[in-house]
Chains A and B, each alone.
Chain A
Amino acid sequence: MDNVFLGPLKKFVTKIAGFLPNLFIGAILILIGLLIATLLRKMICRLSRLLNMDRISEKVGLTQILQKSGIREPVSWLVGNAVYWIVLISFVIMGLDALKIPAVENLLQEFWFYVPNVIAAAIILGAGYLLGNFLGRAALIAAVNAGIAISGLIGKFVKFTVFIMATTMALELLGIGEDTVLIAFAVVFGGVVLALAIAFGLGGRDAAKGYIDKMLLEKKEEDDDITHI
C-alpha cells in the first residue's frame, strides 16, 4: 500500500513543499512589482505636474504631435503609464523566473530572444496607429470638401486599412500566423471590395443608376461662377 499510494503522495507533497516557497516568492515579487509600479505611476504623474511636463511638452510640440495622431491624453499620464507597465512586466517575469519550473524557464529564455521582435512590432503598431489616424483624417476632410455624403465611412475605411496593415506586419514579425494572417487579410480586404462592387453593381443597380444620374445632374447644376479670390 505504502509503495502504491503513499510513495507517490509523499513525492507529490515533497515537490509541492519544494515548489511552494518559489510560488510564494514569485507571488510576492509580482505583488511588490504591482505596488512599486502603482507607486511609481503616482509619483511620476505628481512629479510631472510639479515640473509642468505637460506645459513643456506643449511648448516643444510633443503634445501637438500626439494630438495630431489622435492621442489626447496628457504626456504625464502617458509617461506614468509606460513606467507602470514596464515595471509590472519586469516583476512578472522575475516572479515567473522564481518559480524555477523548467518549462517556464525555457519559455522565459525564448521570451528574451523574442523581445527585440516584440519591440519592433510595438513600434510598427504605434506608427501604424499614428499614420492610420493621420491618413484617415486627411481622407475624411478631403471627402467632405468633395461633397461626398459617405465621408465618415471613407475616413474610417482608410484609418482601419492602415491599422490592419500595420497589425498584419506586426503579427508577421512576431511569427504569429505569418502567411495565414497575410492571406486572411488579403481575403478579407479583397472580399470587402468585391462585396461592395457586387452590392453596388447588382444589388443596388437602380440605386447606383439613380445616384450616378443625380451626381451628373448636380454637377451641371452646381457649377457657379464665383471667383473666391
Chain B
Amino acid sequence: MQAGFAKYFPDHNAILINSDGGSTDGTLEIVEKTAIDDFQPLLIDQRQNLLSKIVTPYHGIPGKGSAFRTIFQVAKELKVKACAVVDSDLRSITPEWIDLLIRPVLNRGFDFVNPYYLRHKYDGTITNSIVYPVTRALYGKHIRQPIGGDFGFSGKLAEFYLTKDVWGSDVARFGIDIWMTTTAVANDFKVCQSFLGAKIHAAKDPSADLSAMLTQVVSSLFMLMEEYHHIWKEVKTTTPVPLFGFEFSVGLEPILVNVERMTNMFSLGISELSDLLSDILSTECMRQLVEAGLSDPFVFGDELWAHVIYDYALACHRKVMSVDHILKTLTPLYLGKVASLVQDMAESNAHEVEERLEALCLAFEKTKPYLIKGWD
C-alpha cells in the first residue's frame, strides 16, 4: 500500500489506518513497523510527501462493518478527498490497486469504486448466485462484485455512510459490503468499477459457518430492500457501469467442489424443512423444488431460483416467522443452486461462465414484476 501511495500519489498526503478487531497475532506491530526503505527496485524516484499510520482498535459489534465505521469516522474528521479499503487477508494486492481504487474518485469525480476481479468460476458463489443478480435487477446497475470487499470512495460518501444508523445490525458484520454498494447506488452517488486482476486471499477460515454468512449477507440485502423499496420498484432497465483498468487474464488455482454433498443437502432440506418452506415459498415454487430434487441429472432452473429468492424476500417483508429462521432455511436451497451452476459450468471457460451468469441475471430481471406485485 505504501508503494501504491508513493508510486501513484507522491504529491498527496496519505494516511494508513489499521482498524483492528483485537488481533493477537502481532498485526498491530507489523503494521506499525513495516516500511519501505528502498524505493529504487520499485522504480519509484519521487518519494511521497507523508504517509502517517493509525493503528487503532474499533468499537462495537465484532466484525468488518464496525472496523469500517472507524475508518469512515477518521475520513470525516480529516476531511479526506478519497479513501480505499482493502481486506486484510489479501495475497494478490499490488500497488496498482491503490491507484485503481482511488484515482476514479480523485480525477474523475466518482464517489464509489467497486472492485472487478478475476475469480475462479466456483469462487464467490453467494455473489454470483444471489447478490449480483438481485442487486442488478433491483437497482439497475451491472455491478459485478457488489460484496467484493475492496472499495474506493469519496470523503463525501464516507460522511454520508456515517449518517445511517445501522451499526447494531448485520451491516456491522458481513453485511457491510452490500450495504456500502447499495447505499451508494440507491442514493445516486456516481459509481464505477476498477479491474484489479486476481483476488487471492488467505485460506478460508474452517470455522466460518456458511449458514451464518449467508444469513448476514442476505438479511442485509433484504433490509436494504425495505429501505429503498420506493427506488427499486421504479427501476425498469439495467445498465453497465464504467469499468477502469486494463483487463488481462491470469491462471487461477483449481477449486475442489463436492457436488454430491451439495445435492444431498438440498434433498435433506426439501424433505425435512418442507413444512417451513411451504410457509415461505409459493405453492408452485415448492412443487418445482420437489421436482428439481427428483431430477436426474440434478437441475435447478434460473427462473425457479429467482422465484425462490424473491419469495424469501417477500417472506422476510411479511415476517411470516422469525427472519433468522427464514434465512437459515435458505442454506440447503442455496447449495442446490450452487451444485446446479457448478454442473452447468464444469466445462466452461471464463467468458462462457460470464454468459451463464448473464442468463441468470436476466432471469432475475424477468421475474422482478413478481416481486413488485407480491411486495404491495
Interface residues of A (CB under 8 A from B): 61, 64, 67-68, 134, 137-138, 140-145, 147, 149, 151-152, 155, 218, 221-229
- Whether the pair B256, A223 counts as a contact (CB closer than 8 A) is yes
CB distance from A229 to the nearest CB of B (A): 6
Task: Name which residue of chain A comes closest to B201, CB basis.
Answer: A227
Chain B interface, >50% SS class: helix
CB distance from A137 to the nearest CB of B (A): 6
- Which of B43-51, B90-98, B260-268, B298-306 is near enough to bind chain A? B260-268
Task: Name which residue of chain B comes closest to A221, CB basis.
Answer: B258
A229: B residues at CB distance < 8 A = 124, 126-127, 147, 149, 174, 213, 217
Contact check: which of A138, A147, A152, A221 meets B325 at CB < 8 Å? Answer: A138
Q: How many residues of B contact A (CB 8 A)?
A: 40
Decide if B295 is an interface residue (CB 8 Å cutoff). Answer: no
Q: Give 28 A-B contacts (CB < 8 Å), ordered by A residue.
A: A61-B319, A64-B320, A67-B279, A67-B321, A68-B325, A134-B322, A140-B272, A140-B276, A141-B328, A141-B329, A142-B211, A142-B328, A143-B272, A144-B268, A144-B272, A144-B329, A145-B211, A145-B332, A221-B258, A224-B261, A225-B204, A225-B256, A227-B123, A227-B201, A228-B126, A228-B214, A229-B124, A229-B126
Task: Name which residue of chain B comes closest to A228, CB basis.
Answer: B126
Extra contacts, 17 of them, besides A68-B321, A227-B125, A229-B217 (Cβ < 8 A), are A64-B318, A68-B322, A134-B322, A140-B273, A141-B325, A144-B268, A144-B273, A144-B332, A147-B261, A149-B268, A222-B258, A224-B258, A225-B255, A226-B122, A227-B124, A227-B204, A228-B125
A149: B residues at CB distance < 8 A = 268
- Which chain B residues numbered 113 to 137 have a C-beta less than 8 Å away from chain A? 122-127
Alpha-carbon distance A228/B330, docked complex (angstroms)? 14
- Which chain B residues numbered 143 to 189 have a C-beta less than 8 Å away from chain A? 147, 149, 174
Decide if B346 is an interface residue (CB 8 Å cutoff). Answer: no
Alpha-carbon distance A134/B322, docked complex (angstroms)? 9
B282: A residues at CB distance < 8 A = none
A147: B residues at CB distance < 8 A = 261, 264-265, 268
Alpha-carbon distance A140/B123, docked complex (angstroms)? 29
Task: Name which residue of chain A comes closest to B127, CB basis.
Answer: A229
Task: Name which residue of chain B comes closest to A147, CB basis.
Answer: B265
CB distance from A227 to the nearest CB of B (A): 5
CB distance from A146 to the nearest CB of B (A): 9
B125: A residues at CB distance < 8 A = 226-228
B127: A residues at CB distance < 8 A = 229
